[in-house]
Amino acid sequence: MITGIEKAFAGFFEICKVNIPEKEHPKIQDAYSMVCEVFGDKCWESGENIVVHSIEVAKVVVQEVGLGIDSVIAALLHNVYYQESTTKLVEPKFGRSVTSILEGMAKINTMGTDTVELHSENYRKLMLAMAGDVRVILVKIADRLQVMRNLDSQPESVITKISVETSFLYAPLAHRLGLYYINSELLDLCLKYQNPAAYNAVSLRLKETDRERANFVAEFVKPIEEKLNARGFSFDMKARTKSINSIWRKMQTQKVEFDEVMDLFAIRVILNSELANEKSDCWQVYSIVTEEYQSNPKRMRDWITIPKSNGYESLHATVLGPHGKWVEIQIRTRRMDEIAEKGLAAHWKYKGGSGNSEMEAWLANVREILENPELNMVDFIDDFKMNVYADEIFVFTPKGDLRKLAAGATLLDFAYEVHSGVGDRCVGGKVNGKNVTLRHKLQNGDQISVDTANHQRPKMDWLDFVVTTKAKNRIKASLNEEVKREAENGKEIVLRKVKNWKIEYNDDSIRKLLKHYKLKLAQELYYNISTGKIDMLEIKDILVEKKEESAKQLITEMLPKDKVQELDFSGGDDYLVIDNNIKNVIYKLAPCCNPIFGDDIFGFVTISEGIKIHRASCPNAPQMIERYPYRVIKAKWQDTKKKSSFQATIRIAGTDEIGIVSQISHVISKDIGVQMRSINIENSNGDFDGTLRVFVNGLEHLDFLMNKLRSINGVFSVSRAD
């Protein structure tokens, strides 16, 4: 009786006979024997047989990815390689190339990756491991596709983890490597597990409209087939429905129902052309199609003249078919179709194993970005995913050199594509001879020159409009350099000040400051000091056990010498003496409490307005003393007989009697030393509340006036308002 394992291997081996040279078949048998010997009938907790899983992954590698013997064997052995007892047996039997792929996969599988937000550092390591050998990525994608196809048997927590990880990383990688169908299937499966209702709704509508689409396709292709046959072309035509995820995404972004999605399917013409005639044949077919059906020039895509960076070649046209329906038609050769189906792997077949030079350049760029220790992996994964799915535009330098950029790229993206130094100093440029700004969005075929200036530096807001990962990472790196420069300056400030203060400054001091300001790095502390966000006097206050300092000492540390010389310390250094004439512009009376001569007062040294004089009973005093004790200085009034004028506010309340306002005004006007600034009286239910603003000579004068007001008949309350 044939077991499930034997049946799975028999089907797989039939596929290998067609795709793998016969001389390599014994290696496949040996690898299969090793897997069976190690695992036998063992299953994982989910119930899936380990050997069957390995065979199915190898089947994807050979049939859907199109890789060679080493990758197929690596796929068969990828679970064997995690068993310490058999690891050493692999290289002597199957060679270094197989071992290299397995080592890369082992690195990935031992990372215990979780969602991007939770373990971003693991993703850096994972991407680096995969960027070393493209075959590692391809075999790992095959493994992930097999896992996604059998995800139903897993618990809910595993389903969520694997589907999120797949949509963030493996599906975009499959797309970037040209494995469009695998990418589509992975995204469909992600939608199935992440949003079952949406997946089922679209899937059901596709089944319901299947016959209708088949009839339409038959009607559409008939006249084209007749004309192509008449011209002697050898070809196949087939229709391919868009993926469920793609349809659902269009419904969401365009806010339309299923029946309103314009291009539910694409019709493909695949030509059997000689390599030398490929381009001319494709353009002839394009001409025949657009003669039969009206084309939409805005939807024309030429990836034959300039292929996509992952090697994709095809002509795409959108034409108005029968019954007024728009249809996408894709024209390509058999070779181009295989590259579209199997991506990078097909390049090795057609270019003698040399692969795709652009792909190698892309992987080298990924490695360079990942090796930056300051890289934020969450941002990288987001940018990576976004840029992988973005369309491309093709633009030219002034010398006519071609550059590929993501659709939506700006002049600044182009500048960074030319060279990071050009991007850092870019101030604008010309597109097709016209001056444009950094933010200008580029179009296909633009010819671009960049203007630079030595004084230009990257700005934080540049990150808001650049779209390429290269530009974003370089801007972030340059901004980090600016932070480093500021931090170095801040460190010099600290060291200079603590030396002047004769304070010991060591690691304990730094830890104390970081804890106080709730910072993680000393660099952040020094940066905030350099940019003025942290006050050095506050640092002194934290590091030094509080000792009583004289007012003159405190002010000398905070104000320029020429300003300090103008101040009066005639009563001794412990107090700042305040002239009741307030002629000195270095200090001002605080409007929040309006101190007047005779009040208990203190000084507060502000950052930009000199010294403010407050009453000791000022409502803001407790907060100032608690938060900025190092800015508070003792102060007292100068003992003088000179008369001056201070604003005071008096609150007055009483019974609303006839002539009460006249009586209040009379009392004030009789006192020749008082000046009335304003009076405001409000009546309510037979009572009144009033506010008087007056100028008096000092506290005694104010008390005298308030007593006079209290003596008025009907007044029952008089108080100072400030």
pLDDT digits (tens, 9 = 90+) for 218-243: 999 999 999 999 999 999 998 888 88
Mean pLDDT of 126-154: 79
Query: Is residue 575's pLDDT more than 60?
Result: yes
Query: Is residue 257's pLDDT more than 60?
Result: yes
Q: What is the pLDDT of residue 377?
A: 46
Task: Report d(CA 565, CA 558) in Å as an integer.
Answer: 13
Regarding predicted confidence, which is higher, 105 or 419?
419
Classify residue 341 by burial, with Cβ atoms within 10 Å: 0-12, 13-18, 19+.
middle
Q: 149 Cβ partners below 8 Å, 6+ apart?
A: 189
Task: Report d(CA 367, CA 409) in Å as an integer.
Answer: 22
Q: What is the pLDDT of residue 354?
A: 46
Into which CATH architecture does domain 646-720 fall?
2-Layer Sandwich (3.30)
Q: 14 Cβ partners below 8 Å, 6+ apart?
A: none
Q: What is the pLDDT of residue 345?
A: 57
DSSP tally for the chain: helices H, then strands E = 30, 20
Query: Looking at 260-264, 424-428, 477-481, 676-680, which range is the least confident one?
Result: 260-264
In 3D, which of 605, 592, 711, 574 has the Cα closest to residue 647?
A: 592
Query: Is residue 419's pLDDT more than 80?
Result: yes
Mean pLDDT for the chain overall: 81
Query: Is residue 641's pLDDT more than 70?
Result: no
Domain range list for the chain:
4-179, 205-342, 479-543, 551-637, 646-720
At 256, give phi and psi (nearest 5°).
Answer: -130, 165
The confidence band for 314, taking pLDDT boundaries of 50, 70 and 90, is very high
Q: Give me the residue label for tokens 């493996």.
A: 170
In 3D, which of 47, 48, 99, 49 has the Cα closest to residue 78?
A: 99
Task: Report d(CA 106, CA 137) in Å as an integer.
Answer: 12
Task: Report d(CA 168, CA 163) in Å as an integer.
Answer: 9
Q: 300 Cβ partners below 8 Å, 6+ apart?
A: 316, 317, 318
Instruction: Output the CA torsion sign for 309, 314, 317, 323.
Output: negative
In 3D, which of 721, 703, 502 has the Cα closest to residue 615?
A: 721
| Structure-token pair, residue 181 | 């169908």
Query: Is residue 551's pLDDT more than 60?
Result: no
Most confident of 68-82, 254-268, 422-436: 422-436
User: Which helix (DSSP H) or strand (DSSP E) does residue 546 occupy?
Assistant: none
Query: Is residue 689's pLDDT more than 80?
Result: yes
| Structure-token pair, residue 641 | 């007989």
Parallel, antiparallel, or unpaired for β 448-452 and 576-578? unpaired
In 3D, which of 408, 532, 556 has the Cα closest to residue 468?
A: 408
User: Where do the H-state alpha helices sit in 322-407?
Assistant: 334-342, 344-350, 357-370, 377-389
Task: Report d(CA 277, CA 17) in Å as an integer.
Answer: 31
Into which CATH architecture does domain 4-179 fall?
Orthogonal Bundle (1.10)
Query: Is residue 574's pLDDT more than 70?
Result: no
Indicate the DSSP class of residue 173.
Answer: H
The confidence band for 554, taking pLDDT boundaries of 50, 70 and 90, is low
- Enter the CATH code of domain 205-342: 3.30.460.10
Q: What is the pLDDT of residue 284?
A: 95
Query: Is residue 376's pLDDT more than 60?
Result: no
Residue type, 408: G
Query: Looking at 548-552, 598-602, 650-654, 701-705, which range is the least confident one?
Result: 548-552
In 3D, which of 376, 334, 343 has the Cα closest to residue 362?
A: 343
Regarding predicted confidence, which is higher, 121 or 425?
425
Instruction: Classify each residue of 494-519 as buried b or exposed e, where b means 16 or more C-beta atoms within 10 Å of its C-beta.
Output: beebbeeeeeebeeebbeebeeeeeb
User: Where do the H-state alpha helices sit in 150-267?
Assistant: 156-165, 171-176, 180-194, 196-208, 210-230, 244-253
Query: Is residue 380's pLDDT more than 80?
Result: no
- As a whole-number percent, the residues of the chain with pLDDT over 90 amount to 25
Indicate the DSSP class of residue 447.
Answer: B
Task: Report d(CA 504, CA 489) in Å as an integer.
Answer: 20
| 4-179 and 646-720: identical CATH topology | no
Q: What is the pLDDT of residue 626?
A: 76
Q: What is the pLDDT of residue 90?
A: 83
